[in-house]
Chain A
Amino acid sequence: MTPLDLLVAVVQQVVDGVFLGLFYAIVASGLALIFGVMDIINFAHGDLIMISAYFTWLLSMNLNLDPLLSMLLTLPILFLIGLGIQKGLINPVLGKEPLIQIAVTVGLGFVLQNIALGYFKAEPKGYPAPLFSGGFNLGPFVIYESKLVSAMVSLAVLILLSRFLAKTKLGLAMRAVTDDRASAMLMGINVGRVYLLTFAIGMVLIGVAAGLWMEMGQVTPYLGTSFSLVSWVAVALAGLGSIQGLIISAIIIGVAQSLGSLISPSIQMAVVYLIFFFILWFKPRGLFARR
Chain B
Amino acid sequence: MELFNREILLALAIFEILVLGLGFALSGNSYLMLLAAQVLLFAVFVATWNIIGGLTGQLDLASSAYMALGGITTSLLWMRLGVPPLLGVFAGGAVAMGLAVLIGLPTFRFGVKEVWYALMTASLVVILNNLFRYTMGPWDFYLPSKWGLIYLRPRTYFELFLIIDVVLVIVILVNVYISNSKIGYYLRSIREDELASESIGIDTRSYKLRALAIYSFITGAAGFLQIVIYSSFSYRLFDTSLAISIAIMGIIGGLGSISGSIASAVIFRTLGEYLRSSLGGVFPGLDLLLYGIMLIIVGVLKPEGLAGLFNQVRRWLGK
Contacts and interface: CB of A to CB of B under 8 A. Distances in A.
A150 B118 CA distance: 31
A269 B130 contact: yes
Interface in B240-295: 240-241, 244, 247-248, 251, 255, 283-286, 288-289, 291-295
Contacts of B116: 236, 280, 284
Contact of A89 (B57, B59, B106, B296): B296
A113 B122 contact: no
A267 B131 contact: yes
B110 interface: yes
A280 B120 contact: yes
A122 B247 CA distance: 24
Contact of A118 (B248, B283, B294): B283
B300 A281 contact: no
A277 B120 contact: yes
Contacts of A103: 248, 251, 295, 298-299
Interface string B149-177: 00000000000000000000000000000
Contact of B122 (A92, A108, A229, A274): A229
B318 interface: no
Contacts of A270: 126-127, 130-131, 134
A244 interface: no
- The residue in A99, A109, A121 that gathers the most chain B C-beta atoms within 10 A of its C-beta is A99
Nearest to B138: A266
Nearest to B235: A266
B130 A111 contact: no
A59 B292 CA distance: 27
A19 interface: no
Interface string B20-60: 00000000000000000000000000000000000001010
Nearest to A41: B115
Nearest to A122: B284
- The residue in B118, B291, B296 that gathers the most chain A C-beta atoms within 10 A of its C-beta is B296
Sort chain A's interface into a size bin: 35 or more
Contact of A110 (B111, B130, B131, B244): B244
A110 B106 CA distance: 31
Interface in A86-110: 89, 92-93, 96, 98-104, 106-110
A115 interface: yes
Contact of A276 (B119, B240, B288, B294): B119
A232 interface: yes
B59 A102 contact: yes
Nearest to B244: A106
A229 B119 contact: yes
Contacts of A109: 292
A232 B114 CA distance: 13
A30 to B, nearest CB: 16
A264 interface: yes
Given A117-B284, A118-B284, A267 B115 contact: no
A106 B246 CA distance: 12
Sort chain B's interface into a size bin: 35 or more
B292 A229 contact: no
Contact of A111 (B107, B251, B292): B292
B127 A232 contact: no
B126 to A, nearest CB: 6
B120 A107 contact: no
A118 B251 contact: no
B289 A111 contact: yes
A155 B303 CA distance: 41
A118 B286 CA distance: 7
Interface of A: 41, 43, 89, 92-93, 96, 98-104, 106-111, 113-115, 117-118, 121-122, 221, 225-226, 229, 232-233, 236, 264, 266-270, 273-274, 276-277, 280-282, 284
11 contacts: A89-B300, A93-B299, A103-B295, A109-B292, A113-B285, A118-B284, A118-B285, A264-B134, A267-B131, A280-B110, A284-B116
Given A270-B130, A277-B103, A284-B110, 14 more contacts: A98-B59, A104-B295, A104-B299, A110-B292, A225-B240, A225-B241, A229-B123, A229-B126, A264-B134, A266-B130, A267-B131, A269-B126, A270-B126, A273-B127
Interface of B: 57, 59, 103, 106-107, 109-112, 114-116, 118-120, 122-124, 126-127, 130-131, 133-134, 240-241, 244, 247-248, 251, 255, 283-286, 288-289, 291-296, 298-300, 303
Shortest Cβ-Cβ A-B pairs, 3 listed? A110-B292, A107-B295, A114-B285
